[in-house]
Structure 1
């Protein structure tokens, strides 16, 4: 993606958040959108797939404080959504709020500006008389991928194979781009920098060298496998270790498994976003597991001992007499493995009311109702009596 496209994309709009949204809100919105738009949930839906890629790209930038800061500075300098018409050209910098040409040369922003000029006009562009810094080794780009896990695998941890297709170092030439037995040599036209300079007004601009195509090296005898690029498209399988207790939406970093670097530089990293499938019985709240268990009216009134499932087997759970429907009981240490301690199992009991009651069961309930001395709704009864007294009934 070019610098122009990068600046003109509105990542905040893609996620539907404000520019000053805190990181926690951005993460929450992304996780919701990722679940809704994930290709596994929308098979064959090209629009959903495109939106999924859009929000993933936006989150990749806005979730990283350094990337977000650089993105905000770039859009502030060149005008968010305004393209590049606001800088350069015959008219010079356009008049926009908070835009000061002196800011371009202030020491506080020189580092970010150099990065911007590199992307806009080629490395080494800047004030008149500046020299190209040279191509040199360049770290490989990071790669993002998605992985869907079963609920149990996310709780216990698992190692999953992940198949990736993309550029990788050529095995024939070892990434040099030259036929085995030969080696690249420094470009005489640019002196190995990869760029040639020219002056235009107050600025000195650098352009990629046409002879070495900006690499700073010339390959006389290219590798037949990669045609001199040093990389080939390969399908590779990477075993990704998912730690126990990983949560839905978590990002796992796998160092050195991204795109290969240039000129011997290290490869980028692989970032895997984890999506956890729902369990048919259990829910999850932090490191706690949640479970809803129906009980009969007799069990709630008289008390009972239930046998309830866990992810590791089953446990006995005592229900005290008079337990109301909706009460949550805690079984300690039977949740998800956390840092330092396991979470708990939270069991919510709900009284199951039969839809049909007949025969001996109905007779028993009628006798119980007649023998029950307590009023289950005293406040309501008192209010009704007050109304009746006021009417003289």
Structure 2
């Protein structure tokens, strides 16, 4: 709404709050009315649409400290100096045109000062454009109004997605300030805590809605973890696979599997790498890091237990930590 119309609008009344209302009270009143009159909640209802615009315009002015101060001054001094409803007379001033006495406003205001030491030109000049605020466009009126309508305030919300969705990208529904939903495109490879911005999805305003910042939260996965752009997975293997070697079919966050060769005699903690199967990024995809973990057999049969005991007796494992202890003593 152009600021020259502020004299004729009671924004406090539109929101149903007092002139002494706090910022929190104004915000609470706006949210309640915005939900009530939002077009999505009242499809085809022109009355509700008009009310929604009035509520949005009122909130846009009263929620901005500078705009609210200017609005309160206009209501106080503008109403007193201009008779509360514009200029009397055929062309806006007493006597048809111009100011009485060469320099005065109706009621005794001067173009440079008032009896209350309020400079009307300073007060209204910034709102009505043109540097000094008066003259310029026509012989007896105000100059052109060049101030653009202000946009609504920015807002912030959050959304939680799965590990797999962070890996491959997704589209998520987020809640706007007025309670309606908006769609947010989540790019592949996004990290926990990263933010994306939705243009024009914030608080509404006369000059268009502000922006909505979405904080993306990624749920933990029971199998996969993330280190940078690499995906880490610990995979169980049997003693037989560790001793003889094998081909491992390893799952990836995309749902596909990748095959990796495990060499004979591998021990727990060795790392296998599948290049390019990590999270995508502008500098290239990370890797899938596979860490085999040997799982000892459980509930052996009597025959298997005897065979295992025979193997343990024959195996020369008593010196397995000798080299480790030697290095630790250096």
| TM, length-normalised to structure 2 | 0.52
Which stretches in structure 2 are left out of the alignment for 5+ residues?
A: 1-19, 25-63, 74-117, 129-146
Q: Could you say which residue in structure 2 is the equivalent of 1:331? A: 274
1:305-327 CA-partner distances (Å, limit 9, x unpaired): 11111224112111112222122
- Count matched residues: 200
Give the SS at the match of 1:131.
helix
CA distance in 2, matches of 1:256, 1:118: 22
- C-alpha change, 1:379 and 1:162, in structure 2 (3 Å) is closer
1:120, distance to aligned residue in structure 2 (A): 10
Q: Could you say which residue in structure 1 is the equivalent of 2:307? A: 364
1:98-120 CA-partner distances (Å, limit 9, x unpaired): xxxxxxxxxxxxxxxxxx99499
Contact 1:255 1:270 in 2 (8 A): yes
Contact 2:158 2:174 in 1 (8 A): no
Tell whether 2:284 aligns with 1:352. Answer: no
1:160, distance to aligned residue in structure 2 (A): 2.2
Tell whether 2:295 aligns with 1:283. Answer: no
Give the SS at the match of 1:307.
strand
Q: Could you say which residue in structure 1 is the equivalent of 2:210? A: 268
1:196-220 CA-partner distances (Å, limit 9, x unpaired): xxxxxxxxxxxxxxxxxxxxxxxxx
Q: Could you say which residue in structure 2 is the equivalent of 1:156? A: 168
- C-alpha change, 1:146 and 1:124, in structure 2 (3 Å) is same
1:295, distance to aligned residue in structure 2 (A): 0.8
- C-alpha change, 1:142 and 1:362, in structure 2 (3 Å) is same
Match of 1:251 among 185, 192, 195: 195
- C-alpha change, 1:280 and 1:335, in structure 2 (3 Å) is same
Contact 1:124 1:131 in 2 (8 A): no
Q: Could you say which residue in structure 2 is the equivalent of 1:22? A: none
CA distance in 2, matches of 1:377, 1:154: 43
Root mean square deviation, CA, Å? 3.4
1:121, distance to aligned residue in structure 2 (A): 6.3
> 1:1-393 alignment to 2 at 5 Å?
118=66, 131-132=122-123, 133-134=126-127, 136=147, 137-166=149-178, 235-262=179-206, 265-310=207-252, 311-374=254-317, 375-378=319-322
Which stretches in structure 1 are left out of the alignment for 5+ residues?
A: 7-115, 167-234, 383-393
Whose Rg is larger? 2
Query: Structure 1: which 4+ aligned runs deviate by more than 6 Å?
Result: none
Contact 1:140 1:261 in 2 (8 A): yes
- C-alpha change, 1:145 and 1:318, in structure 2 (3 Å) is same
CA distance in 2, matches of 1:369, 1:291: 30
1:164, distance to aligned residue in structure 2 (A): 2.8
Greater fraction strand:
1
CA distance in 2, matches of 1:117, 1:140: 13
1:332, distance to aligned residue in structure 2 (A): 0.7
CA distance in 2, matches of 1:335, 1:261: 43
Which protein has greater RCO, CA pairs closer than 8 Å, 6+ apart?
Answer: 1
